[in-house]
Structure 1
Amino acid sequence: MTFFTTLAFVTVAIFVEFSAGVVIFDDSVGLERQFDGIGGLSGGGATSKLLVNYPEKQRDEILDYLFKPNFGASLQILKVEIGGDAQSTDGTESSHMHNSWEENYERGYEWWLMLEAKKRNPNIKLYGLPWTFPGWVGAGTRSPYTNPVQTATYILKWVQGAKKYYNLTLDFIGVWNERNYDITYIKTLRKVLDDNGLSNVRMVAADGGWGIAKDMLKDSELARAIDYIGTHYPGTLTTTASMQTGKQLWSSEDFSTFNDNVGGGCWARILNQNYVNGFMTSTISWNLIASYYQALPFFRDGLMTAVEPWSGNYVVQSPIWITAHTTQFTEIGWKYLRHGAGVGKLETGGSYVGLVSPDGKDLTIVIETMSHDHSLCIRPALPPYNVNATTVDIEFKGSFASLSALNVWYSKPSFGAEADVFFEKQKTLPIVNGKASLKLNPDEIYTLTTLEVGEKGAFDTVPPPSKPFPLPYTDDFEVYREQEEPFNLVPQVGCFEVHNTSDPTHRQVMRQVVLTAPIAWCPINLDYPITIGGNSNWTDIYAEVDVRLGGVNGTKGVFLAARVDKGGCDAFSSTGIFLYVFPQTKSYILSNDLARTSVITSGELGEVEADWNKVSLMVKGTVASGMLNGNSLFNHTVPSSPTSGFVGLGTDSWGLADFDNLKITSVQDRLHELHHMKKEDTKLYFVPGGH
Structure 2
Amino acid sequence: MMFATLAFAAVAVFVELSAGVVIFDDSVGLERQFDGIGGLSGGGATSKLLVNYPKKQRDEILDYLFKPNFGASLQILKVEIGGDAQSTDGTESSHMHNSWEENYQRGYEWWLMLEAKKRNPNIKLYGLPWTFPGWVGDGTRSPYTNPKQTATYILKWVQGAKKYYNLTIDYIGVWNERDYNIPYIKILRKTFDDNGLSNVRMVAADGGWGIANDIQKDSVLASAIDYIGTHYPGTLTTTAAMKTGKQLWSSEDFSTFNDNVGGGCWARILNQNYVNGYMTSTISWNLIASYYQALPFYRDGLMTAVEPWSGNYVVQSPIWITAHTTQFTEIGWKYLRHGAGVGKLETGGSFVGLVSPDEKDLTIVIETMSHDHSLCIRPALPPYNVTPATVEIEFKGSFAALTSLNVWYSKPSYGNEADVFFMKQNKLSIVNGKASLKVNPDEIYTLTTLEVGQKGTFDNAPPASKPFPLPYTEDFEAYREQEEPFNLVPQVGCFEVHNTSDPTHRQVMRQVVLSAPIEWCPINLDFPITIGGNSNWTDIYAEVDVKLGEVNGTNGVFVAARVDQGGCNAFSSTGIFLYIFPKKNNYILANNLGRTSVITSGQLGEVESSWNKVSLMVKGTVAVGMLNGKTLFNHTVPSKPASGFVGLGTDSWGIADFDNLKITSAEDQLHHLHHVKKEDAKLYFVPGAH
Normalized against structure 2, the TM-score is what?
0.98
Q: Is structure 2 residue 652 aligned with structure 1 residue 653?
A: yes
- CA positional deviation for 1:426: 0.2
Partner AA of 1:177 in structure 2: N
Q: Is structure 2 residue 86 aligned with structure 1 residue 87?
A: yes
**Counterpart of 1:374 in 2: which secondary structure?**
coil
**Counterpart of 1:191 in 2: which secondary structure?**
helix
Partner AA of 2:342 in structure 1: V
- Contact 2:670/2:681 (<8 A) preserved: no
The equivalent residue for 1:562 is 561
CA distance in 2, matches of 1:506, 1:311: 29
The equivalent residue for 1:23 is 22
- Contact 1:631/1:685 (<8 A) preserved: no
The equivalent residue for 2:505 is 506
CA distance in 2, matches of 1:433, 1:329: 24
**Counterpart of 2:300 in 1: which secondary structure?**
coil
The equivalent residue for 1:575 is 574
The equivalent residue for 1:688 is 685
CA distance in 1, matches of 2:621, 2:10: 67
- CA positional deviation for 1:668: 1.3
The equivalent residue for 2:51 is 52
CA distance in 1, matches of 2:680, 2:63: 55
Deviations 1:510-565 (A, max 9, x none): 00000000000000010000000000000000000000000111000000000000
The equivalent residue for 2:123 is 124
Sort the Cα spacing of 1:679 and 1:145 in 2 relative to 1 into closer, same or farther, 3 A.
closer
CA distance in 2, matches of 1:117, 1:393: 40
Point out where structure 1 has 5 or more consecutive residues left out of the alignment. Answer: none
- CA positional deviation for 1:684: 13
Sort the Cα spacing of 1:152 and 1:685 in 2 relative to 1 into closer, same or farther, 3 A.
farther
Sort the Cα spacing of 1:639 and 1:679 in 2 relative to 1 into closer, same or farther, 3 A.
closer
- CA positional deviation for 1:100: 0.2
The equivalent residue for 2:69 is 70
Sort the Cα spacing of 1:623 and 1:331 in 2 relative to 1 into closer, same or farther, 3 A.
same
Matched ranges for 1:188-207 at <5 A:
188-207=187-206
The equivalent residue for 1:343 is 342
CA distance in 2, matches of 1:8, 1:29: 48
The equivalent residue for 2:168 is 169
**Counterpart of 2:83 in 1: which secondary structure?**
coil
The equivalent residue for 1:476 is 475
Deviations 1:355-407 (A, max 9, x none): 00000000000000000000000000000000000000000000000000000
CA distance in 2, matches of 1:28, 1:10: 46
**Counterpart of 2:19 in 1: which secondary structure?**
coil
- CA positional deviation for 1:671: 1.1
- CA positional deviation for 1:130: 0.1
Deviations 1:625-658 (A, max 9, x none): 0000011100000000000000000000000000
Partner AA of 1:423 in structure 2: F
**Counterpart of 1:373 in 2: which secondary structure?**
coil
The equivalent residue for 1:14 is 10
Partner AA of 2:84 in structure 1: D
Sort the Cα spacing of 1:49 and 1:398 in 2 relative to 1 into closer, same or farther, 3 A.
same
- CA positional deviation for 1:454: 0.2
Sort the Cα spacing of 1:258 and 1:684 in 2 relative to 1 into closer, same or farther, 3 A.
closer
Partner AA of 2:642 in structure 1: T
The equivalent residue for 1:445 is 444
The equivalent residue for 2:375 is 376
Deviations 1:91-149 (A, max 9, x none): 00000000000000000000000000000000000000000000000011110000000
- CA positional deviation for 1:155: 0.1
CA distance in 2, matches of 1:690, 1:225: 66
CA distance in 1, matches of 2:444, 2:680: 68
The equivalent residue for 1:41 is 40
Runs of 4+ in 1 over 3 A off after TM superposition: 5-15, 682-686
Partner AA of 1:689 in structure 2: V
Partner AA of 2:249 in structure 1: W
Matched ranges for 1:205-244 at <5 A:
205-244=204-243
Sort the Cα spacing of 1:684 and 1:192 in 2 relative to 1 into closer, same or farther, 3 A.
farther
- CA positional deviation for 1:687: 1.5
Q: Is structure 2 residue 643 aligned with structure 1 residue 625?
A: no
- CA positional deviation for 1:12: 5.6
- Contact 1:172/1:201 (<8 A) preserved: yes
**Counterpart of 2:658 in 1: which secondary structure?**
strand
Q: Is structure 2 residue 281 aligned with structure 1 residue 285?
A: no
Sort the Cα spacing of 1:437 and 1:615 in 2 relative to 1 into closer, same or farther, 3 A.
same
CA distance in 1, matches of 2:19, 2:654: 65
CA distance in 2, matches of 1:250, 1:187: 20
Q: Is structure 2 residue 269 aligned with structure 1 residue 270?
A: yes
Sort the Cα spacing of 1:463 and 1:8 in 2 relative to 1 into closer, same or farther, 3 A.
closer
The equivalent residue for 2:145 is 146
Partner AA of 2:10 in structure 1: I
Matched ranges for 1:310-329 at <5 A:
310-329=309-328
- Contact 2:540/2:664 (<8 A) preserved: yes
- Contact 1:632/1:686 (<8 A) preserved: no
Q: Is structure 2 residue 587 aligned with structure 1 residue 588?
A: yes
CA distance in 1, matches of 2:418, 2:261: 15
**Counterpart of 2:325 in 1: which secondary structure?**
helix
Deviations 1:579-619 (A, max 9, x none): 00000000000000000010000000000000000000000
Partner AA of 2:137 in structure 1: G
- CA positional deviation for 1:678: 4.2
Partner AA of 2:657 in structure 1: D
Partner AA of 1:35 in structure 2: F
- CA positional deviation for 1:65: 0.1
The equivalent residue for 1:183 is 182
The equivalent residue for 1:305 is 304
- CA positional deviation for 1:13: 3.6
**Counterpart of 1:14 in 2: which secondary structure?**
helix
Matched ranges for 1:634-673 at <5 A:
634-673=633-672
CA distance in 2, matches of 1:28, 1:683: 88
Deviations 1:665-687 (A, max 9, x none): 0011111112xx3469x999982
RMSD: 1.5
Partner AA of 1:448 in structure 2: L
- CA positional deviation for 1:14: 3.3
CA distance in 2, matches of 1:656, 1:409: 56
Partner AA of 2:499 in structure 1: N
Partner AA of 1:175 in structure 2: V
- Contact 2:132/2:519 (<8 A) preserved: yes
**Counterpart of 2:261 in 1: which secondary structure?**
helix
CA distance in 2, matches of 1:399, 1:604: 85
Partner AA of 2:269 in structure 1: I
Matched ranges for 1:316-465 at <5 A:
316-465=315-464
- Contact 1:533/1:647 (<8 A) preserved: yes
- Contact 1:625/1:686 (<8 A) preserved: no
- Contact 1:631/1:684 (<8 A) preserved: no
Deviations 1:458-486 (A, max 9, x none): 00000000000000000000000000000
CA distance in 2, matches of 1:99, 1:683: 52
CA distance in 2, matches of 1:683, 1:174: 61
How many residue pairs were aligned? 684
- CA positional deviation for 1:76: 0.1
- CA positional deviation for 1:8: 9.4
The equivalent residue for 1:612 is 611
CA distance in 2, matches of 1:34, 1:6: 56
CA distance in 2, matches of 1:49, 1:83: 13
Partner AA of 2:594 in structure 1: A
Partner AA of 1:270 in structure 2: I
